[in-house]
Structure 1
């Protein structure tokens, strides 16, 4: 079981407080262009800025993060994001039995993954910056399916296995 130390909890709380400026940042995000844009190919880095597992089992919850990356890459509504973040928390909890770890990861993605942040791991990172929370159209859903199919063909083992050089 992985436990979270009190200093780490204080650090996480400080990060949460510092990032409460998200609503202000959201108002600065420009409107989405009216012309049609294409989705960039899917990429995953596992648990962005967080370990993919323990020292003993380095990929213990990595696939939870790759599934979460798929949701973040394609984006969608604010409710879609909540469901993706809750699914990550549940997956990590199931893998580890550690509610504190699962909750820490959940809080991290809730704060750090807002679409207003110009990061590679923000909500909707497969679309140009500024999309925000917007449900996917039928055309966009077809793009998602096509890109995920191409990713699966090129990466049949997925990120977590490939990064370790496993067959």
Structure 2
């Protein structure tokens, strides 16, 4: 790759890291995922079409790398999730906003992988439906269906009551951004 493309890759590290954190649910695994993605991209740099969408290409490689890693390490993932759940329960109460942020994060992370990936690419990374569908290698209609189910699940989370508050008290409203509701 020439220097201009190298600079573009460096500029895309933060979106890659955000998406990796969303998929991997663990900071260390996310960093490993980004590094593995960059190694794969370098090894397959000849498959990148000049003038193509570098961001989409890298996000697609990252997604595929995640899927491959998940298949190889399914047992390890379960063990890490159990350890994370124990660590979260041992944390002392924090400010209300931090607790709320953790609730929202838990709701987002509880979405199925396919829905979480679709929502992340559209709502957080700001990809168009077509770009996100291309990155996930799925039809746009499938992406829109996954987005609709993810948004519905988060709206359901919002409609529920928070057991740590007074019974019957609604949670604060969560605005779901990124495209229109389907």
TM over 0.5: no
Kindly name which structure, 1 or 2, has the bigger radius of gyration based on alpha carbons.
2
Structure in which a larger fraction of residues adopt helix: 2
- Which fold has the larger relative contact order, with Cα–Cα distance below 8 Å and residues 6 or more apart in sequence? 1
TM-score, scaled to structure 2: 0.28
